[in-house]
Structure 1
C-alpha cells in the first residue's frame, strides 16, 4: 500500500469517525434538550389544564367583574367538594375575560399588569389547548389556554384565558442550552483527537494485512521461481541435445519431474491457504474411532523411525469415537510427524499420545526430543513461509507452509494448535479439539 493511499484511507477513517461523533453529539443534545423542555413545561401545562375546570377561580373573576370589586375573594369550597382552593393556583398566573369581539373586560382587576398585557390578542383557533405565546412589546413569554364560557351565564364574558408567565423557565432553558452547546463542542473537539487515534488503530490491521499479503506474494514468488527455473533450464538443455535418447537425459528428466511434483504440492498448499482465508474450507466431521485412526496413521512413520534408529512411542487413552474430519486431522498429524522425523537424530525419541482433558476437549500430543524451539521463535513458527534455522531447512526441504496449514485446519475445527517445550530438550505440539464441533454452515446460522 503506497503512502498516498495510506494517507487517503486514514483521512477517510478520520472523517467518518469525526462525523459520527458530531452526529451522535447533535442527536444526544437534541434529545436531552427536548426532554428537559418537556419536563420544564409539564407542571405548568398541568396546572393550566386543571384551572380551566376549577369553578371557584373562574367564579371569583366573574364576580370581580360584575360587582366591580377587584378585591373579592373566592367563596369557600362547599363541604364534601373535591375542588381545590383557588388561591394556591394563582401564583404567577393571570385570568383574562374576553368579549366576543376580542376586548378585555377585567382591565381594572388586572391593575398594573394590564399595561404589560394590553398588546395581547384573542386567539379563537386553538381553544382548550395549551399554547406558547410571546408578547413582542415587552418580551414576556407565557403558556396559555383559552376556553369558551359555557359554564357561567353572563352576556359579556364569551371567552376565558389563563396565562402563566414562563420567562424564568425560558431563561433557565436558554442558559442550559448554551451550557449544553459548549459542553458538546468541547467534547467534540476531544472526539477529534479520539478520531485520530481511531483512524490510526483502523489502519494498523489494514497495513498488517497488506504487509502480510506483500510478504506472502514475495515468498510465494520466490518459492515458485526455483522449481520453475530448474524445469526451464532442463527443458532448454534437452533442446540442445536433439539426437540423444530419453535414457541419455533421464537424470535431467527425473529432476524436472521431481520439481514438477514439488511445484504441484506447493500450489496445492497455497490453494488450501487461500481457501481457508476466504472461508471456503469445509469440514466434514464424522464419528471416528481414535485408536484405529491413529494406529493406521502412525504406522509408516513408526517404520521410518525404526529404520533411522529413533524411538517411537504411541499411547491412546480415548475409547469413545470422536467427531472430527479424519482427512483434515490426518493432514495435520502428517505435518507434525514429518517435522518430528526431520528434526530428530538417531536415538532421539518421538511420542504420539491421545487423551481426553475435560468433558469438552480432547487432544493429540506429538512430542520429539532433539532440540527445543527458542521462545522468541515460537510466536513465528505458525506464520507462512517461516522456517526455523534456514540452513537446516534447506537440507530437509519444505516451504514453511506446513505448520501454517496445520494451524488453519485446527482452527476450522474450532480447536487450538500450540507448541511448548518437552522435558529439557524437546518440543511438544498439542492439537486440542472440541468434543463436538459445529460445521461451517451451522456456525454461520
Structure 2
C-alpha cells in the first residue's frame, strides 16, 4: 500500500472517529441540559400550581387589598406549608378585568419592577415564562394566571410570579462549564481519534505487507521451475530427430519440476483457504497407536536406506478427537523435514503420549541445530534457514507454515526447541478433546 493511499485511509479513519466523538458529546450535552432544565423548574412550577389553586391564599391576598393593609397576617396558620410561597421571590398580583394591577401597595418596591407587566388571557391556568424589563435589566419569571369564577373586590384575575433569575444564572453557569468541558474532551478525543486511526491502520498495513511478500515469494518460487521446464522443452525443439531415450534427461528434469510445481500450488491453495477461513476440520475419534504405527512405516524404510536411526515411542493409548487427514499432513511435514536435514548416522525419534488433557507429539532429530533468530521466523511462509535449510533440500518454505496452521485449527500449540547436545525438537500439543 503506497504512502499516499495509507495517509488517505488514516485521514478517513481520523475524521470518522472525530465526527463520531463530536456527535456523542453533542447528544450527551443536549440530553443533560434538557434534563437539568426540566428538573430545575419542576419544583417552582409545582409550587405555583398549588398556590394558584389554594383558595385561602387568594382570599387572604384579597382581604389585604380590601382592608388596605399589605402586612395583614392570617389569624390562624391556615395556609399549608407546602403552599406558602417565598415572599422574597414570589408575588401574587391581583388584576382587574381591565388589566390593571390592584394590589400595588402590597407589592411595594416590586411594583416599580413589574409596572410594565401586562395581563395575558390566552394562557390561563398554564405555566409560562415571562420576561419583564426593568431599566437596563431583565427579570425572568415563571408565571401562572387564573381567572376567578366570581370576581371579588373588583379582582377578576390572580397571577402568581416566581422569580427565576438565580436559577437562570445557575443554569447559564452550568451550561458554560458543560460547553467548555465538551470542547476540552472533544479536543482530547481528537488525539484519541488519531491514535485509534493509527492503530486501525496497523493491521491493514501489516496484511498488505504480508500479501505483497506472499505474492513476491510465490512469484519467485514459481519462476524457477517454470524457467527450467521452458528451457527443457526448448531444447527438445532443437533436436526434433532425437528419440525419447536420447532426450530422457531434459524430459525427466521437466517432469521433476512439474511435480514440484504441483506440490507448490497445492501448498499455496492450502494457505489461501486458511487465510480465507475456508478450512473446516472433520473431527472424529482417532486411536493414536495404530495411526502412528502405520504412518511412519515408509519413513522408517527411507531412514534405513539412508543409514539413519528411526525410533517410535508410542505411548498414547487414549483416543483423541482430531481431523485424521490434517494430522497425517502435519506429521508428514515434520517427518519429511527430519529426513531432509539429517545425515547418515543421525537419529530421528517420534514421541506420542497423553499429558494432562493434551496429545503431545514430538519429532526429534540429531541433525543441524536451528539458530535462535531462525526459531522466531521458522513458521513464517517461504522462510528457510539459509545455512542448513536451503533451496537445495527441494522445499519451498511452506511446510512448517502449513503445520502451524493445522495445529492452530486444532486449538493447539507448536514450538521448536534445541535437542542437547545437538539437534532439534518440534513439539506439538493438541487438546485430546476438541
- TM above 0.5, yes or no, is yes
Counterpart of 1:383?
380
The alpha-carbon distance between structure 1 residues 87 and 296, as it changes in their structure 2 partners (threshold 3 A), is: same
| Aligned mates of 1:315, 1:126 — CA distance in 2 | 97
- Structure 1 residue 193 corresponds to structure 2 residue 171: no
CA RMSD of aligned residues (A): 2.5
Larger deviation: 272-281 or 87-96? Answer: 87-96
Deviating 4+ runs (over 6 angstroms): none
Paired residue secondary structure (1:287): strand
Given that 1:47 and 1:89 are in contact with CA atoms closer than 8 Å, whether structure 2 keeps it comes out as no
113 and 288 in structure 1: CA distance in 2 versus 1, 3 angstrom threshold: same
Question: What is the deviation of 1:89?
Answer: 4.3
The whole-number CA distance in structure 2 between the counterparts of 1:51 and 1:316 is 94
Matches for 1:311-390 after TM superposition, within 5 Å: 311-359=309-357, 361-389=358-386
Distance 1:422 1:43 in 2: 82
Deviations 1:135-171 (A, max 9, x none): 2554111222334445x77374444332211111211
User: Aligned-pair distance for 1:422?
Assistant: 3.5
Structure 2 unmatched runs, 5+: none
- Pairs aligned (count): 432
Report 1:44-443 matches (<5 A).
44-77=44-77, 83-84=80-81, 87=84, 89-136=86-133, 138-149=137-148, 154=152, 156-359=154-357, 361-389=358-386, 392-437=389-434
Whether 1:36 aligns to 2:21 is no
**What is the CA deviation profile of residues 29-73 of structure 1, one whole-angstrom value per residue up to 9, with x for unaligned ones?**
223333333333333233334433444433322222333321112
Does the CA contact (< 8 Å) of 1:316 and 1:355 recur in 2? yes
| Distance change (3 Å), C-alpha of 1:145 and 1:394 | same
Shift of 1:127: 4.0
Conserved 8 A contact 1:314-1:352: yes
User: How much has 1:371 moved relative to structure 2?
Assistant: 3.6
C-alpha separation in 1, matches of 2:40 and 2:82: 24
Question: Structure 1 residues 43 and 399 mapped into 2: Cα distance closer, same or farther (>3 Å)?
Answer: same
Change (3 A) 1:209 1:112: same
Distance 1:205 1:86, change over 3 A: closer
Deviations 1:409-433 (A, max 9, x none): 2222232222233344332223222
Deviation readout 1:85-112 (Å, 9 max, x if unpaired): 6556444112223344544332322122
CA distance in 2: counterparts of 1:131 and 1:421, whole angstroms:
86
Q: Deviation at 1:273?
A: 0.8
* Alpha-carbon offset, residue 400 of structure 1: 0.5
**Gap change, CA 1:85 and 1:11, over 3 Å in 2:** closer
SS in 2 for 1:362: strand
Encode CA deviations 1:389-421: one digit per residue, 9 max, x unaligned. Answer: 256422211011111111112222232222233
Stretch of structure 1 that moved more, 372-381 or 100-109: 100-109
The alpha carbon displacement at 1:203 in A equals 2.3
8 Å CA contact 1:315, 1:352 repeated in 2 = yes
Range 65-74 or range 245-254, more displaced: 65-74
Contact persistence 1:56–1:86 (CA under 8 A)? no
Contact 2:341 2:388 in 1 (8 A): no
The alpha carbon displacement at 1:2 in A equals 1.7
Report SS of the residue matched to 2:170. Answer: helix
In structure 2, the CA distance between the partners of 1:423 and 1:157, relative to structure 1 (3 Å rule), is farther
Secondary structure of the residue aligned to 2:189 is helix
Report the equivalent of 1:10: 10
Q: Is the 8 A contact 2:47 2:83 kept in 1?
A: no
Distance 1:87-1:196 versus aligned 2 partners, 3 A rule: closer
Say if 1:268 and 1:53 are closer, same or farther in 2 by CA, change over 3 A: same
3-state SS of the aligned residue for 2:196? helix
Contact 2:413 2:429 in 1 (8 A): yes
On the 8 A contact 1:59/1:74 being kept in 2, the answer is no
Q: Give yes or no for contact 2:47–2:82 (8 Å, CA) kept in 1.
A: no
Distance in 2 between residues matched to 1:427 and 1:159, nearest whole Å: 102
Cα distance in structure 2, aligned partners of 1:267 and 1:177? 67
Contact 2:52 2:146 in 1 (8 A): yes
Distance 1:424 1:101 in 2: 114
Q: Identify unmatched segments of 5+ residues in structure 1.
A: 438-445
For residues 115-151 of structure 1, the C-alpha deviation after alignment (integer angstroms, 9 at most, x for no partner) is: 222333344444444333322554111222334445x
Structure 1 124/355 Cα, relative in aligned 2: closer, same or farther at 3 Å?
farther
